[in-house]
């Protein structure tokens, strides 16, 4: 009798977990899209900047193009109150009111914390307060949590475990699982974004600790070198991405000024081929027409958001990437990755991407049908740039 009660209890707990896992995956059935404050505003971000981003998201058409999350990154945190509850600092007078403001515009609200005592910027982390913080986030109306390792490395160091790979990996994984459980108990569906820079092959265990996305690399910066190194090095991770759980090669730099339009088109295209989260990182209230046309290219966004949820992969030694799409279509992106100034032609043989016979082609940056292709197509992407096609039969 006791045993069967126990079995029932285990089964019930198991189905609860399963239910939570299915619900969580549903939150990110396609890669999350939105905006994050860090790349542009960094540690200077204020409540007013976030409200302006939410307003701009609506006014510019970003929301209607699919960008939904308005995410405050590091430096919103203040000191805890006497009961240990996290409070925001003076640049963020009222987080609940800010979340309400974002929600009133048909958007979702994201926040940031660390499993360590301190965040990367030295603000208050969630170490030892996970349950309490998860409850606070739920009460504020948070929809997305980026959980950034940083300060936990100090804890690992204090325990002299930095050279004990097995123990430090286990601690990291446990810390992410702990917040996952706290979020589940908090009762509000919250997209869970793991940020530990791709350490310990997070793509192998990110799903098991409830991650909807996990950073695969160190921080991006607004240069072609940084973006290309990160983006093109994602080859091989494709088998870990699936609906609900995505590789995250970090946020977009489009519109921040360190790259030219061809290079920013490369980031947008490559991230779409990678089924990567699309989190804009620029000042949305000051976008020029070129930036808007890149961030809001609906044909490229449709590739990123394709419901089959298969991450694209590199074909052969050149930077030719192919992504299978729902209904048997394929996206192909041909990048000019050579550093010399003379753009080189690249030929794609249709049989190399699995086609026989005639194939329809559409150029997703020119917004132009190319008619029917036979055997092959040769394109010459500009220096640092890309030609992106949709192919179907
Ligand atoms: C780390 C993360 C960044 C950003 C900063 C904030 O470096 O990788 O994306 O969140 O911390 O301090």
Residue-wise pLDDT tens digits, 324-333: 999 999 999 9
* Distance in angstroms (rounded) separating the CA atoms of residues 169 and 152: 11
CATH topology of domain 314-392: Immunoglobulin-like (2.60.40)
Can you name the residues that pair with 358 across neighbouring β-strands?
none
Q: Report whether 28 contacts 212 (CB < 8 A).
A: yes
Q: Which residues of 208-227 are buried (b: 16+ CB within 10 A; e: fewer)?
A: ebbbbbbbbbeebebebebb
Neighbours of 120 (CB within 10 A): 21
Nearest CA to ligand 1 atom 5: 120
- The reply to whether ligand 1 has any atom less than 6 angstroms from the CB of 304 is no
How many residues can be counted in the chain? 393
Cβ(220) to ligand 1 under 6 A?
Answer: no
Q: What mean pLDDT do residues 379-389 have? A: 95
**CB-ligand 1 contact for 73 (6 Å cutoff):** yes
Using CA positions, which residue lies closest to atom 8 of ligand 1?
Answer: 219
Mean pLDDT for 147-172 is 93
pLDDT of residue 343: 86
Of 31, 38, 33, 32, whose CA–CA distance to 282 is shortest?
Answer: 38
Superfamily of domain 2-311: Aldolase class I (3.20.20.70)
Judge whether 341 counts as a catalytic residue: no
Name the maximum alpha-carbon separation found in the chain. 78
Would you say the CB of residue 38 lies under 6 angstroms from ligand 1?
Answer: yes
Q: Whose CA is nearest to atom 9 of ligand 1?
A: 219
Note the pLDDT of residue 21.
Answer: 83
120: CA distance to ligand 1 center in Å? Answer: 6
* String of DSSP letters for 357-374: S-EEEEETTTTEEEEEE-
Identify the pLDDT of residue 2.
Answer: 38
Q: What is the pLDDT of residues 228-238, one digit of tens each?
A: 999 999 999 99
**3-class SS at 88?**
strand
pLDDT given for residue 13 in this prediction: 45
Delimit the domains of the chain by residue range.
2-311, 314-392
Q: What's the CA gap between 139 and 326, in Å, rounded?
A: 38
**Would you state the pLDDT for residue 338?**
65
Q: Does 74 sit in the ligand 1 pocket, CB within 6 Å? A: yes
Residue 337: C-alpha distances to residues 107, 228, 257, 274, 296 (Å): 36, 8, 20, 17, 24
Which is more confidently placed, 268 or 9? 268
What is the number of the ligand 1 atom nearest to the C-alpha of 197?
8
Point out which residues pair with 280 in neighbouring strands: 35
Pocket probe mutation, ligand 1, options 39, 195, 222, 248, max atoms within 8 Å of Cβ: 195
Q: Are 135 and 128 in contact (CB under 8 A)?
A: no
pLDDT tens, position by position, 251-309: 999 999 999 999 999 999 999 999 999 999 999 999 999 999 999 999 999 999 999 99
> Is the torsion defined by CA of 360, 363, 368, 373 positive or negative?
negative
- Which atom in ligand 1 lies closest to the alpha carbon of residue 73? 10
Query: Which is the catalytic residue, given 148, 250, 304, 306?
Result: 148
| 177-186, 301-310, 314-323: least confident range | 314-323
What are 324's strand-pairing partners? Answer: 330
| Element containing residue 36 per DSSP (H, E) | strand 33-36
Indicate whether residue 72 lines ligand 1 (CB < 6 A).
no
Is 218 assigned a catalytic role?
no
Going from the C-alpha of 292 to that of each of 206, 212, 289, 324, the distances in angstroms are: 33, 27, 5, 27
């Amino acid at each position: 009798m006791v045993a069967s009660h126990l079995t029932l209890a285990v089964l019930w707990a198991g189905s609860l977990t399963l239910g939570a896992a299915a619900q969580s995956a549903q939150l990110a059935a396609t890669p999350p899209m939105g905006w994050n404050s860090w790349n542009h505003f960094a540690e200077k971000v204020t409540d007013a900047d976030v409200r302006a981003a939410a307003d701009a998201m609506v006014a510019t058409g970003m929301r209607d193009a699919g960008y939904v999350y308005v995410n405050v990154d590091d430096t919103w945190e203040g000191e805890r109150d006497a009961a240990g509850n996290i409070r925001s600092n003076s640049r963020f007078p009222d987080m609940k009111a800010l979340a309400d403001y974002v929600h009133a515009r048909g958007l979702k609200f994201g926040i940031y914390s660390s499993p360590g005592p301190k965040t990367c910027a030295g603000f208050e982390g969630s170490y030892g307060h996970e349950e309490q913080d998860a409850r606070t986030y739920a009460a504020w109306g948070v929809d997305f949590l980026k959980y950034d390792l940083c300060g936990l490395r100090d804890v690992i160091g204090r325990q002299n475990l930095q050279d004990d790979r097995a123990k430090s990996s286990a601690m990291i994984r446990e810390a992410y699982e702990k917040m996952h459980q706290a979020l589940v108990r908090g009762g509000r569906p919250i997209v869970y974004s793991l940020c530990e820079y791709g350490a310990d092959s997070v793509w192998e265990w990110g799903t098991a600790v409830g991650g909807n996305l996990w950073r695969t690399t160190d921080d991006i910066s607004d240069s072609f070198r940084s973006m290309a190194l990160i983006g093109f090095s994602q080859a091989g991770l494709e088998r870990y991405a699936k609906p609900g759980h995505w590789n995250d090669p970090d946020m977009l730099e489009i519109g921040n000024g360190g790259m030219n339009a061809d290079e920013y088109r490369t980031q947008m295209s490559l991230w779409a081929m990678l089924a990567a989260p699309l989190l804009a990182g620029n000042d949305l209230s000051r976008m020029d027409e070129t930036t808007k046309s890149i961030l809001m290219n609906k044909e490229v966004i449709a590739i990123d958001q394709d419901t089959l949820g298969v991450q694209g992969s590199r074909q052969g030694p050149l930077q030719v990437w192919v992504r299978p799409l729902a209904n048997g279509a394929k996206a192909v992106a041909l990048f000019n990755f050579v550093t010399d100034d003379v753009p080189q032609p690249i030929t794609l043989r249709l049989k190399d991407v699995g086609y026989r016979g005639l194939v329809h082609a559409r150029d997703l940056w020119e917004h132009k049908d190319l008619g029917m292709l036979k055997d092959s197509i040769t394109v010459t992407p500009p220096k640092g740039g890309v030609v992106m096609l949709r192919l179907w039969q």
